[in-house]
Every structure is written in C-alpha cells, then in structure tokens.
Amino acid sequence: MQLHIIGLGVSETAQLEPRAQRALQTASVVIGSERQLRVVADLMGDQQTLNLPPLVELETQLAQWVEEGASSIVVLASGDPLYYGIGRWFSRRFPTEQLGFYPAVSSIQAACHRLGLSLQDVEVLSLHGRPLAKIRTQLKQNCTLVILTDKHSTPQVLAQECIAAGFSKSELTVCEALGYSHEKVTAYVADRLADADVVFDPLHVTVIQVQGEGGILPEFPGIPDERFVTDKPDGKGMLTKREVRLAILSMMQVSKGDQVWDIGAGCGGVAVELSYWNPDSQIHAIEHHPNRLNCLRQNRDRFGVVSNLNLIEGRALNALSDLPAPDKVFIGGSGGELEPLLDQVWARLPEGGVLVASAVTETTKQSLLTFYEARMQRSDAYSQTTQIMVSRGDQLAGQLLYRPSLPVTLFRFRKTAINEERVYE
C-alpha cells in the first residue's frame, strides 16, 4: 500500500502539481475533511471518500483497507503536510518507501508573505491542541511569533498573555481566511485587543511582534529566586539559589532529546530552568513533599513548561523504576536515602550519562565522597567536585554588608567504560 499525503495550500481551489494530481486520480481511497474533499472534487473520479477520523482510529482503518485490497490511499492536508501538519504523524509510523509527500504553501508562510516577514526571522509556535501556557516560553523582547491557534488560544487570549508578561504594547496581526475571497488582515495592540468584542474566522494565524517592558518571564538563564513560588516568602523556601543553580545547569550540559531526572526537586528551581532552556528534552521531577510539589506545579504553569516538565509525586526509590532511562540526573534531595539512590541511579545511567548531586549537610557530603572514591577506584567515571559559597549584598543600618549562605558542595560524574582513556572533560 502506498500512502500519498497531499498538501492543499491555503487557496479556495486546488492548485496541485502533476504528481499530486496523478496520485489523487489513481487512489483507491481519498481521506480528508469535508472542506478539503470539496476543494478536490473536480479532480477526482469515483474513488471512495472518507472524512478524516481521529488519529487514534486512523491506523486501524488503514490496516483494514489494506486487507480489503486498497493499493493507494490519499490523505489531504491543509497547508504543507510536513510543516506543523499531519505528515509528521505518518512519517513516524510508516517506512519512507511507503510514503509520498506533496508540499504546498502553509498558512504560516502565507501570513509571513502578507506581512513582508522573512520566515527565518520569526519563531513559529503551534498552540493547536496544545496548552496555552506554552507561549510563556516564547514571549521575549523584540521577538516575532507566528502562531497556529485553536479555540482556546484566540487573539484576545494571546493579547492577555502578552499583557501578563509585561508586553502590553505588542502588536498582534490576525490573518484570517488566507487565500480565500474573504481574506482579512488586521493589526491590533495587545492592551486594546485583550477585551475587544471581535469574532475571528476559525481559519486564522496570529502574528505577534513582542514589545513592552517585559521583565516578568526569563530571557536568559538564572531566573531570580523571587520569581518562583516557594513554600516560604520571597523565594526563600526549598529552592536551589540562582548562583548555585547556574553552576548545576552548566554541569548538567543537557542536550536535545535528553531524558533528565531531577530527584528531590523541591519547589522546582532546577527542574524549571532545565525545562525552560531545553524545550526538546523531557525533564522528570520527583518530589514527595505535598507543599513543595504544589509550588512546583504552580511554577511549571507560571513559566509555561507544561509540555516537557513531568511531575512525579512520591519517594524516588519507589518512583524511578517507572521512568524512562535517564541521560542526565540531578539529585538535590534524597530524604535520607542517598546511598541506595546513588546505586539505583548509577545502574540505570548509560555510558556517557551524567550525574550531578548537591550536598549541604556533612552527612550528605560524606555519602557523596564515598561514592566519589568508589568511582575513582573502579575507573568508571570522570569525576569532579566543586564547593560554592555565595554571599549576597544587603543593608544593615544604612551600610552595605555581605550575608553568607551555607556552602553547597557539587559533585559531577560522567559515566564511562571501565578504564576508558581520558581525552577531555
């Protein structure tokens, strides 16, 4: 069976290349929405047609057609099927030789052309079927966002998100029904659009040119402690402080696609930063304390890291077996179970994986020193340790003084084959 995924672009009439027309005319079955099927009706013969079912049902339906002898199936797609389209779903499930893709202009490209924007100069975000909070990771000063939306992310709602982030002067341009006879492109300022009584065409793209004072969402690593919700006021609860957090981020060196464990995540200082700056990695934060877990949940929403920060309630020794194998691990708290926890983590960590752990108490430090010495004896890791003591400026009787925090000892282990030759670290 051959699967042909044909993009229809953004026009009212089908403008298909010859290859796509041949695929359409020779297909046994053509699948698409009612609107898409109407667009190609004049180009088809008497093929069987079907409205696109939910994707969870489509795979079963395709298998049934194969059993019935269907040799060629066409799936119609809006815009460009491989640019925030249905094409990705097929490419993840079927071999390349079974697939044919036929590109067309996407609504994102069309919106950029209407506004004279170079596609390489904008950030594209899809909120279609995705949490609205994702936009909070993208709202940055002087950034231009092109956004695919749904009924939960209307232009008014996006304007409200801009205002909440301190970008009330942002310009939102709503591009409606692109390529249709009733196409409409209208620009608004966020603080005027937020409460506007305007109904937009369901087929629209919103372009945001982010402007305003900002200063609420982070634009660079090292989120100020007071921005976090914690179990004590002003960021003084169970939260890794910014200076130490930055050192941990540097030691972790998270890569695209990594699975990361944050054990004893507290209120989420490390977990949130890891998620915010590594959107293509999955961060699994384990915390058993109810109040801290609640703070962690609020921080996940506040900073918009809802798609890649996964919260696990419970004690780590019980929770880790259900998690995907890690590439990187941070241990910030262990609830008195550090030694068995280290053994379990080390067993799950692959060669090349990184373990970073912090210690404040002498008991924790001693356990990590014992683990450090074991790694040295077995020559199965590149190990390093650093102690950080931060003193922050404060005022006392009108005079500047520096208040010291408790020193934090950090350990980093990169797992290697036993006696692996050390090239660099």
Residue-wise pLDDT tens digits, 26-42 = 999 999 999 999 999 98
pLDDT, averaged across the chain: 93
CATH of domain 225-415: 3.40.50.150
pLDDT at 176: 97
Listing DSSP states for 167-227 in one string gives -TT-EEEEEESTTSTT-EEEEEEHHHHTT------SSEEEEEE--S---SS-SSS---GGG
Report how far residue 212's alpha carbon sits from residue 171's, in angstroms, rounded to the nearest whole number. 10
Give the pLDDT score at 46: 85
Count of CB atoms situated within 10 Å of the CB of 262: 32
Cα angle 308, 101, 99; round to 5: 85
Using the predicted structure, report yes or no on whether residue 145 has a pLDDT greater than 90.
yes
Q: What is the mean pLDDT of residues 178-192?
A: 96
pLDDT at 5: 97
Categorize the per-residue pLDDT at 328 as very low, low, confident or very high, splitting at 50, 70 and 90: very high
Kindly give the residue spans of alpha helices, DSSP state H, lying in 41-106.
55-67, 87-91
Cα–Cα distance, 362 to 424 (Å, whole number): 31
In the chain, what percentage of residues exceed pLDDT 90?
85
Element (H, E) at 144: strand 144-148
Q: Residues 282-316: pLDDT tens digits?
A: 999 999 999 999 999 999 999 999 999 999 999 99
d(CA 412, CA 425): 11
For 328-383, the DSSP string reads EEEES--TT-HHHHHHHHHHHPPTT-EEEEEE-SHHHHHHHHHHHHHHHHHT-EEE
Q: Name the nearest CA neighbour of 248 among 271, 225, 276.
A: 271
What's the pLDDT score for residue 63? 84
Please give the single-letter amino acid code of residue 349: L
pLDDT value at 393 more than 70:
yes
**What was the pLDDT predicted at 350?**
96
- The pLDDT of residue 107: 94
Confidence of residue 44 (pLDDT cuts 50, 70, 90): confident
14 secondary structure, DSSP code: -
User: What pLDDT score does 102 carry?
Assistant: 96
pLDDT confidence band for 422 (50 / 70 / 90): low
Whole-number pLDDT of residue 361? 94
State yes or no: pLDDT of 65 exceeds 90: no
Which among 61, 55, 46, 94 is positioned nearest to 77, based on CA atoms? 55
The class level of CATH for 108-209 reads: alpha beta
Place of tokens 């995540």: 265
More confident residue, 421 or 367: 367
- pLDDT tens digits for 231-277? 887 667 889 999 999 999 999 999 999 999 999 999 999 999 999 99
pLDDT at 136 over 80: yes
pTM of the model: 0.89
**Looking at the predicted structure, is the pLDDT value of residue 419 above 80?**
no
- With contact defined as beta carbons under 8 Å apart, do 333 and 156 qualify? no
pLDDT value of residue 236: 75
Classify each residue of 327-341 as buried b or exposed e, where b means 16 or more C-beta atoms within 10 Å of its C-beta: bbbbbbbbeeebeeb
Architecture of domain 2-105: 3-Layer(aba) Sandwich (3.40)
- What pLDDT does 59 receive? 86
**The two three-digit tokens of residue 33, written as one number:** 């929405």
Helix 338-348 vs helix 362-378: angle between axes, to the nearest 10 degrees?
Answer: 40
DSSP 9: B
Average pLDDT on 411-416 reads: 97
Confidence at 421, pLDDT banded by 50, 70, 90: low
Residue found by looking up tokens 């390349």 in the block:
96
- Going by the DSSP 8-state scheme, the letter that residue 324 receives in this structure is P
Tell me the per-residue pLDDT of 190-246, one tens digit each, with 9 for 90 and over: 999 999 999 999 999 999 999 999 999 999 999 999 999 998 876 678 899 999 999
The C-alpha atoms of residue 294 and residue 298 are separated, in whole angstroms, by 6
Residue 86, pLDDT > 60, answer yes
The three-state secondary structure class of 108 is helix
Q: What angle do CA 120, 252, 318 make, to 5 degrees?
A: 115
Domain-by-domain residue ranges, the chain? 2-105, 108-209, 225-415
- Strand, coil or helix: what is 395? strand
Q: Which helix (H) or strand (E) holds 156?
A: helix 155-164
pLDDT at position 55 is: 87
